[in-house]
Amino acid sequence: MIIVEGIHHINIAVTNLATSSKFYSDLFDFEITDNSHSNYVSISLEPITVNLVQTEKVDNQLSSLSKPTLSFEMDVDDFTDAISEIEEKEIKIIKGPESIENGESLLFADPDNNLIEIFYKS
């Protein structure tokens, strides 16, 4: 067995670092922690660090399966507020809100069509 201390970071492919950095910081309050590289930007929402990695084209097979790249749990009031903000910002909603076991879920897309889920459970 390999013993690890945790996950250091997650990589997400994007086509435009500035657009994606702004999307994640404005919507989720991710902090830009390292933008000194030409091909990726590190953003953080403690304890999660995400590297937005620039690619020419994003071909996310998870999106074609309607599976999120990121999934955020929240309480019911924050979930309702988040839906309002997503609608106000005219972010592409893929599915929901829909009932899940003991709660609701909403699936939406980032600028490169990477899917993001927000949900709550009672």
32 and 47 belong to one structural domain: yes
**Rounded Cα gap, residues 95 and 90, in angstroms:** 14
In this predicted model, what pLDDT tens digit does every residue of 63-105 receive, in sequence order? 778 889 999 999 999 999 999 999 999 999 999 999 999 999 9
- CB-CB neighbours of 16 under 10 Å: 13
**pLDDT over threshold 80, residue 114:** yes
Residue 122: the pLDDT is 86
24 and 66 belong to one structural domain: no
52 and 63 belong to one structural domain: no
Task: Find the mean pLDDT for residues 50-59.
Answer: 94
23: phi > 0 → left, psi -120 to 50 → alpha, else beta; which? alpha
Q: In what order do the strands lie in the sheet with 93-100?
A: 70-73, 115-121, 103-109, 93-100
88, part of any domain: yes
The tokens 């790249």 sit on which residue? 69
10 and 45 belong to one structural domain: yes
Residue 66: the pLDDT is 83
Residue 65: the pLDDT is 81
39, part of any domain: yes
95 and 46 belong to one structural domain: no
1, part of any domain: no
69 and 46 belong to one structural domain: no
Compute the radius of gyration of the chain from its Cα atoms: 15
Q: In which domain, by residue range, is 36 found? A: 6-57
Task: Give the DSSP letter of residue 102.
Answer: T
65, part of any domain: yes
Q: Residue 77: which CATH number? A: 3.10.180.10
48 and 78 belong to one structural domain: no
Model confidence at 17, pLDDT cuts 50, 70, 90, reads very high
**pLDDT over threshold 80, residue 121:** yes
**pLDDT over threshold 80, residue 49:** yes
**pLDDT over threshold 90, residue 115:** yes
Q: What is the mean pLDDT of the chain?
A: 94
Structure tokens at 64: 């074609």
DSSP 35-49: --SSSEEEEEETTEE
**Rounded Cα gap, residues 45 and 108, in angstroms:** 19
Residue 61: the pLDDT is 82
Q: In what order do the strands lie in the sheet with 48-54?
A: 10-14, 48-54, 40-45, 31-34
